[in-house]
Amino acid sequence: MTESKMNANSTRIVGKAALYSVFALCLFVSAMWFGEDLFITIETYLFVQLAVASIVLAAGSMGAVVFRPRWRAPSIALLYWMIWLAGMSVGGKSKTAAFNDCVSHGEAVRVQLSTYRSEHGSFPTSLADLEQGPACGKRWTRQPILTYQRLSDSEYSLLFSDWFVVHQATHNSQFQAFQ
C-alpha cells in the first residue's frame, strides 16, 4: 500500500472515530438530561430502557449489513446502549442529590429570603436575586428543582418534589411534606 493510501485510510478512521465519539457524548448528555427529570416507577424505567435497547440494537443489526466486519455495528450499538444507561443513571443521581439537598438545606433558603426582605423591604422577584443564589436544588443539565413564587412584597411560596412527595413552605411556615 502506498503512503498516500495509508494517510487517506488513517484520516478516514480518525474521522469515523471522531463522529462516533461526538455521537456518544451527545447520547450521554441527552440521557443525563432525560434522567434528571424522570420521576417514574421502576416498571416504566425498565420499559424505557428496554425500548431504547431494542431501538439501538435493531439499528446496530441493520448496520451490520453495511459495515465490515459484521460484528462491528452491533458492538457499537451495544456500547451506545451502555452509554445511554450510564447517562440515565448519572442524571437520576443528580436529581436525587438535588432533592436530598433541598430536604437538608431548604430552610437555609427561607433564611436567605428573610435576610433579603430585611435588607430590601420586600422578597426578591426570583431566587437568582439572592446574594449567594439558592442554597439547594441544583441539577447538572436542568433548572433547580426548588421553585419559588413571590406572591406579594411580603409573601412567597417555595416548592420541590419528586414522584412521591411534595415539600412546600411559605413566608410564615416551614417546609411540610405532602403525598
Mean model confidence pLDDT for the chain? 79
DSSP summary character for residue 67: S
Q: How far apart are CA 179 and CA 163, in angstroms?
A: 9
Would you say residue 66 has pLDDT above 60?
no
Report the pLDDT averaged over residues 93-114: 88
DSSP assigned state of 41: -
List pLDDT tens digits, range 26-65: 878 888 887 777 655 566 667 777 777 776 666 666 655 5
d(CA 89, CA 179): 25
Query: 84: which residues sit within 8 A by CB, 6+ positions away?
Result: 27, 28, 31, 52, 56
Query: For cell 452491533, what's the residue?
Result: 74
Q: How far apart are alpha carbons 103 and 149 in whole angstroms?
A: 18
Domain segments of the chain as ranges: 3-94, 96-178
Cis peptide before 134 (omega within 30 of 0): no
- pLDDT for 86 beyond 80: yes
Cα distances (angstroms) measured from residue 158 to each of 5, 39, 77, 135, 151: 65, 19, 43, 13, 11
Q: What is the pLDDT of residue 91?
A: 83
| The three three-digit cell numbers of residue 54, written as one number | 431494542
**H-type helices in 37-146, by residue range?**
42-66, 72-120
Q: What is the mean pLDDT of residues 8-20?
A: 69
Q: Which residue has better confidence, 141 or 75?
A: 141
C-alpha to C-alpha distance for 162 and 179, rounded to whole angstroms: 10
pLDDT of residue 95: 84
Is residue 9 predicted with pLDDT exceeding 70?
A: no
